[in-house]
Amino acid sequence: MNLILLGPPGAGKGTQAQHLVETRGMIQLSTGDMLRAAKDSGSEMGRIVADVMARGDLVTDEIVIGLIREKLQGDKAGGFIFDGFPRTLAQADALADLLEEQGEVLDAVIELRVDDETLIRRIVNRAEEAAAAGHPVRADDNEGAVRHRLTEYYRKTAPLIGYYHAKGQLVAVDGLGEIEDVKAAIAAVLDK
């Protein structure tokens, strides 16, 4: 089973992906996590993407498609959860090609729906809690960058909702409820 979790920053994609890893043995492919790991490793790619990410802009399609291509060639376990990828129509087309090359299919696209003010509040609270606990805070978890990430989402990523709807693959799930309720709603979609 291969699944895309689609939705704006702060919608809960990472939390839900982690749960699917634990309960279904799936593999989470988060391009955001991969890019942050590249940044922390001090690699050349990491240096290139650091400023782009801190502003809340998207990094180039070429870079993220390259990261995903590499992972799809590895272990497939219980299937892939694409978390934060694809984020543009070009990335969606590339993913379709990469899956086909691997003899894999996309089983579902789950759109997590959350309103803007809740998203901003969640992310800013998460950053404040991390700072108070002495944990590292993401460079893009301040209100200005979050608003820019949301603008990028509506301009470049939200068109994927229509793209996957047209393919009959999109299912919307309310992301506003308790985490446990969202887990149950996603499980209901996957076990249908």
In the chain, DSSP finds a helix count (H) and a strand count (E) of 9, 5
CB of 52 to ligand ADP, least distance (A): 6
Of positions 4, 20, 56, 160, contacts ligand ADP by CB under 6 A? 56
Residue type, 119: L
CB of 21 to ligand ADP, least distance (A): 16
Which is the catalytic residue, given 138, 147, 156, 183? 138
If binding is defined by CB under 6 A, does position 175 make contact with ligand ADP? no
Give which of 83, 79, 76 is closest to 33, Cα–Cα: 83
Query: How large is the C-alpha radius of gyration of the chain?
Result: 16
Tell me, what DSSP letter sits at residue 134?
T
Residue 69 is among the residues annotated as catalytic for this protein: no
Q: Reading across the β-sheet that carries 27-30, which strands appear in turn?
A: 27-30, 80-83, 3-6, 108-113, 170-174
CB of 169 to ligand ADP, least distance (A): 18
Residue 149 is among the residues annotated as catalytic for this protein: yes
When the beta carbons of 157 and 185 are compared against ligand ADP, the nearer one is: 157
Provide the token pair at 143.
């209100």
Contact set with ligand ADP (CB under 6 A)? 9-10, 31-32, 35, 52-53, 56-59, 64, 84-85, 87, 91, 140, 149
